[in-house]
């Protein structure tokens, strides 16, 4: 009961943070102009954006199959892709829940241990972080002035007092958490949770080791590049939906993809709020208006949210049937007494 209450409180806090940031983004802006731009937007480009977003899922699914095969297990690209879609759908509702849903969804269909699947996901996250850093590095080389202006806006001393208070609260919580772990470490070692963490750690270790035993490292690298290329196209194609951003270049697309990715790091449901704020600041640093930035952020975020919902529902249905089929196959293979 207490765990559910804490989960509910955490959920509401993250959601409130996102709504607060969204309120600050929209406050005192020309909403009439933004609504007019949204009405006149060419939505065909958003359909392409949704297509590229789902293509990233497919390449992630294909890449995940390689990691799973390196651990001597088997999974189809269809199952891994749908598990990934289910994970992103869960993330849109509950921050950082997607990894758990993704692993448990595939486990129910294939029987692959969750801790080992989680290890492969941590490996993926590490690689994705490296790719993000590479993209940030390219942005610094190609858009140094704009990226410097963006970070200057984010780290400005003119930030509202609420942001400073939030940093103090976060730091205090981290200190209290560390102190609690230290003083109760012996009791924690005897708990079932500690044993679960140890087992999870062993599975994670094996997941990381798969990278060294993988036979198709070249194909793995190609899938990784294609995933991030789809992210780029997913953002860049939306530039053509409104006149203000239609003349921006592919380099601008890379820059805004990076800025939006940084906004999505904030653990808020579906990036609601932080993504809009980041993209708006990014567009302003390029030299366009805040209204254009907000409009673009709404178009990109909304189109991807719709894609996540649709593919998440489809994934739930497909995986449900696959789980039922797996159970029936297991029952038919069990010898009768």
Query: pLDDT tens-digit profile of 70-105?
Result: 888 999 999 999 999 999 999 888 777 888 999 999
23 lies in some domain: no
Convert the pLDDT of each residue in 1-24 to its tens digit. Answer: 555 666 667 667 777 777 777 777
Domain that holds residue 124: 30-321
Q: In whole angstroms, give the CA distance from residue 269 to residue 33.
A: 27
Q: In whole angstroms, give the CA distance from residue 244 to residue 119.
A: 44
**Would you state the structure tokens that stand for residue 147, as one six-digit string?**
């990226």
Whole-model pTM: value is 0.78
17 lies in some domain: no
Average pLDDT, the chain: 80
Q: What is the DSSP letter of 241?
A: G
210 lies in some domain: yes
Q: In whole angstroms, give the CA distance from residue 312 to residue 307.
A: 8
Instruction: Considering only residues 334 and 223, tell me which one the structure prediction assigns the higher pLDDT.
Output: 223
Convert the pLDDT of each residue in 129-161 to its tens digit. Answer: 888 889 989 988 888 888 777 777 666 544 444
211 lies in some domain: yes
State the total domains in the chain.
1
Residue 160: per-residue pLDDT: 43
In this predicted structure, the answer to whether residue 190 has a pLDDT above a threshold of 80 is no
**Cα atoms in the 13 Å half-sphere on the side-chain side of 43:** 8
Residue 6: per-residue pLDDT: 65
Q: Which helix (H) or strand (E) holds 316?
A: helix 290-333
330 lies in some domain: no
In this predicted structure, the answer to whether residue 165 has a pLDDT above a threshold of 50 is no
Instruction: Considering only residues 207 and 265, tell me which one the structure prediction assigns the higher pLDDT.
Output: 265
């Amino acid at each position: 009961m207490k765990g559910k209450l804490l989960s509910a409180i955490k959920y509401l806090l993250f959601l409130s943070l996102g709504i607060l940031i969204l309120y600050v983004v929209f406050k005192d802006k020309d909403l009439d102009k933004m609504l007019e731009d949204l009405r006149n937007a060419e939505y065909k480009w958003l359909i392409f954006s949704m297509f590229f977003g789902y293509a990233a899922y497919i390449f992630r699914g294909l890449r995940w199959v390689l990691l799973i095969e390196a651990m001597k297990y088997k999974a189809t690209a269809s199952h891994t892709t749908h598990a990934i879609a289910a994970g992103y759908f869960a993330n849109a509702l509950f921050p950082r829940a997607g990894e758990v849903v993704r692993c448990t969804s595939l486990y129910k269909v294939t029987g692959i241990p969750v801790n080992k699947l989680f290890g492969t996901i941590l490996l993926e996250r590490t690689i994705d972080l490296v790719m993000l850093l590479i993209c940030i590095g390219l942005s610094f080389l190609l858009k140094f002035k704009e990226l410097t202006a963006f970070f200057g806006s984010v780290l400005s001393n003119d930030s509202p007092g609420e942001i400073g208070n939030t940093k103090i609260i976060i730091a205090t919580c981290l200190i209290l958490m560390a102190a609690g772990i230290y003083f109760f470490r012996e009791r924690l070692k005897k708990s079932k949770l500690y044993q679960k963490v140890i087992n999870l750690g062993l599975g994670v270790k094996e997941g990381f080791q798969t990278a060294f035993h993988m036979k198709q490292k070249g194909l793995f690298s190609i899938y990784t590049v294609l995933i991030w290329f789809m992210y780029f196209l997913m953002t860049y194609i939306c530039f053509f939906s409104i006149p203000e951003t239609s003349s921006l270049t592919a380099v601008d697309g890379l820059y805004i993809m990076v800025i939006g990715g940084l906004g999505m790091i904030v653990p808020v449901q579906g990036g609601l709020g932080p993504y809009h704020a980041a993209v708006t600041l990014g567009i302003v640093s390029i030299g366009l208006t805040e209204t254009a930035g907000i409009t673009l952020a709404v178009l990109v975020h909304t189109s991807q949210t719709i894609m996540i919902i649709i593919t998440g529902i489809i994934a739930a249905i497909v995986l449900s049937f696959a789980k039922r089929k797996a159970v029936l196959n297991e029952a038919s293979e069990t010898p009768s007494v």
